[in-house]
């Protein structure tokens, strides 16, 4: 079982990152691959969880041990698989997630892709009172859009990458269509910022 990997980030896609160590590139699924854009070609440490299926061996990556432990607790809930777990963690507001569980806010939880009412209730039942030991942080970073931005087009590459990342997390075309107009105003913003803002908008809809 892998605990962590330390190596150079060599590739970033909407679905995963690649970390090279000892001349081997490891494909690692992470909640927001573009979070690593600032570290491209730099050395990072990523904590790992391996999932072995009949058709694939998949590595899931996290920036610290508390994120990894949160992921493990999420996928311990019936109805939440690794993909859904990553989608839940992609939103930076992990403290908001814990608050929703503790306050039994099933409506908030069903806004995550792949989480229906039954699964949301199961999350509350299984995780309530069990996340206190984790150092959950992460107030979502505010992304500001100026008046000038409203009359300009966002860089096609950054916008398209962000849309693909939302699809990779499991959001439907219908859900993404609702937030596209506002994301298209974010000219000059990096893919990571557009994606973060898109996630925040989807949680408000």
Integer Cα distance of 195 and 201 in angstroms: 10
Q: Which residue has the tokens 């605990």?
A: 3
Report yes or no on whether pTM surpasses 0.85.
no
Q: What Å distances lie between residue 120 and 64, 75, 97, 140, CA to CA?
A: 25, 13, 11, 22
In tens digits, the chain (205 residues) has pLDDT values of 789 999 999 999 999 999 999 999 999 999 999 999 989 999 999 999 999 988 889 999 999 999 999 999 999 999 999 999 999 999 877 888 989 999 999 999 999 998 999 999 999 999 999 887 776 554 433 333 343 443 334 457 899 999 999 999 999 999 999 999 999 988 778 999 999 999 999 988 6
pLDDT of residue 149: 40
pLDDT of residue 87: 92
pLDDT of residue 123: 96
What are the backbone dihedrals phi and psi of residue 87, each rounded to the nearest 5 degrees, phi first? -60, -40
Under 8 Å between Cβ of 179 and 201: yes
Following DSSP, what letter does each residue of 136-161 receive, concatenated? ---PPPP----TGGGGSPPPHHHHHH
Which domains occur in the chain, in start order? 4-62 (2.40.50.140), 66-127 (1.10.150.20), 148-204 (no CATH)
Can you state the angle between helices 156-168 and 173-183, rounded to 10 degrees?
A: 150
Can you state the angle between helices 156-168 and 191-204, rounded to 10 degrees?
A: 50
Sign of torsion over alpha carbons 77, 80, 83, 86: negative
Angle at 89 between CA 106 and CA 116, to 5 degrees: 30
pLDDT of residue 136: 59
- Please count the other Cβ atoms lying within 10 Å of the Cβ belonging to residue 108: 17
pLDDT of residue 76: 95
List the one residue out of 181, 164, 182, 161 whose CA is nearest residue 173.
164
């Amino acid at each position: 079982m892998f605990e962590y990997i330390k190596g150079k980030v060599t590739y970033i896609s909407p679905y995963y990152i690649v970390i090279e160590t000892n001349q081997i590139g490891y494909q690692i699924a992470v909640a927001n691959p573009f979070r690593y854009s600032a570290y491209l070609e730099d050395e990072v440490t990523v904590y790992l969880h391996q999932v072995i299926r009949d058709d694939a061996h998949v590595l899931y990556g996290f920036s610290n041990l508390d994120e990894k432990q949160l992921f493990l607790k999420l996928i311990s809930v019936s109805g939440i698989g690794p993909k859904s777990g990553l989608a839940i963690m992609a939103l930076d507001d992990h403290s908001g997630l814990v608050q929703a569980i503790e306050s039994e806010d099933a409506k908030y939880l069903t806004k995550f892709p792949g989480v229906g009412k039954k699964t949301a209730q199961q999350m509350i039942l299984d995780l309530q009172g069990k996340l206190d030991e984790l150092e959950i942080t992460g107030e979502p970073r505010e992304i500001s859009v100026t008046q000038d931005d409203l009359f300009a087009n966002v860089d096609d590459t950054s916008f398209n990458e962000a849309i693909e990342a939302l699809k990779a997390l499991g959001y439907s075309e219908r859900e993404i269509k609702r937030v596209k107009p506002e994301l298209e105003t974010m000219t000059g913003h990096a893919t990571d910022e557009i994606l973060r803002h898109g996630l925040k908008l989807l949680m408000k809809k």
